Amino acid sequence: MIIYDYHEDNSPVPGLLERLGVPLVRDTRKVGDYEVSGLESLVVERKEAGDYVGSLKDGTLHTQLYEMSTNFQYSILLVEGNVTHELMQRKMRRQQLISSLAGSILKRSPDGQRGVISMVNLDTAWDTALFLKYAHDKVNAEEGLVRSPVMTARKWKPEDRQVGVLASFPGVGEVRARAIMSEPRLNTLRKIMNAEADELRRVEGVGPKTAMEIMELSRKVYQG
């Protein structure tokens, strides 16, 4: 499943994803434009070339990268279009772009997930849709993932261990886990494990698939 922010209605990408048969959920997102959910969660911030260059100039890119790294283990900054043309239009030096390319992939938040950020530059909205589709296919196919102890290790603070347990459920992650546990009716793991899918779905950002996975996994009998 891919969750996308309603601002992306102005882009052809959601429509193209529908044509490609990717399951979509439209929502209001706090971090990133797209969240690709499966065995792992991947957040994608899509910027057209002009927006990307503008965010370099006004400093908003730094804040967005911080939020992505804080909330997700894996993040993609996806720039769509001709960046060189935009640099020329705005009379910016190419060195700034190269510095950003190096800096973006090395940025790691000191908080939360402390996730890794990758940067991708694609030509068209069609390329973006294909990229998201293939990312969706891979995070839903266990053999397509390379699991590294360095990447998956996570030390939770004592007060956040409940969040860590819930965040480890498929398709949940830290952002959704905190949103769920912030609800008074769901503020303990026992309440969450006993909740029905409809009750979980009332939490902002929790879709039907995630709700069912939480409910089914919490009730599944161990077969080992």
| Nearest one of 211, 26, 31, 1 to 113, comparing CA atoms | 31
Question: Which of 80-84, 90-94, 148-152, 185-189 is most confident?
Answer: 185-189
Rg (CA), the chain: 18
pLDDT value of position 104? 67
Residue 28 DSSP class: -
Unique residue bearing structure tokens 């398709």: 171
List own/partner pairs for 120-124 with CB under 8 A and 24 or more apart.
Answer: 120/76, 120/77, 120/78, 120/79, 121/78, 121/79, 121/80, 121/83, 122/78, 122/79, 122/80, 123/80, 123/81, 123/82, 124/80, 124/81
Indicate the pTM of the whole model. 0.61
Residue ranges and CATH numbers for the domains of the chain are 2-144 (3.40.50.10130), 154-219 (1.10.150.20)
pLDDT value of position 64? 86
| Nearest one of 151, 141, 166, 156 to 36, comparing CA atoms | 141
The CA-atom distances, in angstroms, between 190 and each of 165, 215, 219 are 12, 12, 12
Residue 36 DSSP class: E
pLDDT in tens, 41-74: 789 999 998 888 888 777 788 888 888 888 888 8
pLDDT value of position 19? 93
Q: Are strands 34-37 and 74-80 parallel, antiparallel or unpaired?
A: unpaired
pLDDT in tens, 79-132: 998 877 777 776 666 776 677 667 766 777 787 778 888 888 899 999 999 999
